[in-house]
Amino acid sequence: MQTARRDHRKASDCTLAIDLGTSGPKVALVSVKGEVLACEIEKTPVELLPGGGAEQAPEDWWQAICGAARRLLARPEIADRRIAGVCCTTQWSGTVAVDRNGDPLGNAIIWMDARGAPYIRRITSGPVRLEGFGVDKLWKWIRLTGGIPGASGKDPIAHILYLKHEKPDVYRATYKFLEPKDYLNLRLTGRYAASYDSIILHWVTDNRRIDRIDYHDGLLKMTGLDRDTLPDLKPAVDILGPLLPEAAADLGLPAGLPVVMGTPDLHSAAIGSGAVRDYEAHLYIGTSSWLTCHVPFKKTDLLHNMASIPSAIPGRYFIANEQETAGGCLAFLRDKILFPPNGSPGADEEDRSFAALEALAREIPAGAQGLIFTPWLYGERTPVEDHAVRGGFHNMSLEADRGTLVRAVLEGVAFNARWLMTYVEKFIKRKLAHIHMVGGGANSDLWCQICADILNRPIHQVRDPVEANARGAGILAAVALGYGRFEDIAGGVAIANTYTPDPEHEHLYRKMFGEFLQIYRQNRRIYARLNRQ
Provide the pLDDT confidence category of residue 134 given band limits of 50, 70 and 90: confident
Q: List CB contacts of 77: < 8 A, sequence separation 6 or more.
A: 37, 38
Provide the pLDDT confidence category of residue 7 given band limits of 50, 70 and 90: low
pLDDT by residue (tens digit) across 372-401?
A: 999 999 899 899 989 899 999 999 999 999
pLDDT by residue (tens digit) across 10-19?
A: 878 999 999 9
In degrees and rounded to multiples of 5, residue 496 shows phi and psi of -80, -45
Q: List CB contacts of 471: < 8 A, sequence separation 6 or more.
A: 17, 28, 30, 34, 35, 36, 271, 272, 464, 493
Mean pLDDT, the chain, as a whole number?
Answer: 93
So where are the chain's domains? 6-273
The more confidently predicted of residues 128 and 522 is 522
User: Is residue 249's pLDDT more than 60?
Assistant: yes
* 3-class secondary structure, 488: helix
Q: Which amino acid is at 464?
A: D
Q: Which amino acid is at 53?
A: G
Dump the DSSP string for 182-240.
HHHHHHHHS--EEETTTTGGG--EE-SSTTS-EE-HHHHHHHT--GGGS-EEE-TTSEE
- Global confidence as pTM: 0.88
* 3-class secondary structure, 303: helix
Give mean pLDDT, residues 43-51.
94
CA distances from 7 to 4, 84, 457 (A): 8, 11, 45
Q: List CB contacts of 291: < 8 A, sequence separation 6 or more.
A: 281, 282, 283, 284, 321, 417, 420, 421, 424, 435
d(CA 356, CA 350): 7
Provide the pLDDT confidence category of residue 4 given band limits of 50, 70 and 90: very low
Contact 408, 360 (CB under 8 A): no
Contact 175, 98 (CB under 8 A): yes
Domain topology for 6-273: Nucleotidyltransferase; domain 5 (3.30.420)
Q: Where are the beta strands (DSSP E) in 304-416?
A: 306-310, 317-320, 372-374, 392-394
d(CA 251, CA 202): 30
CA distances from 278 to 222, 273, 313, 410 (A): 34, 13, 12, 29
pLDDT by residue (tens digit) across 403-450?
A: 999 999 999 999 999 999 999 999 999 999 999 999 999 999 999 999
State percent of the chain over pLDDT 90: 83
Nearest CA to 270 among 312, 211, 325? 312
Q: Which amino acid is at 244?
A: L
User: Is residue 350's pLDDT more than 90?
Assistant: no
pLDDT by residue (tens digit) across 55-67?
A: 999 999 999 999 9
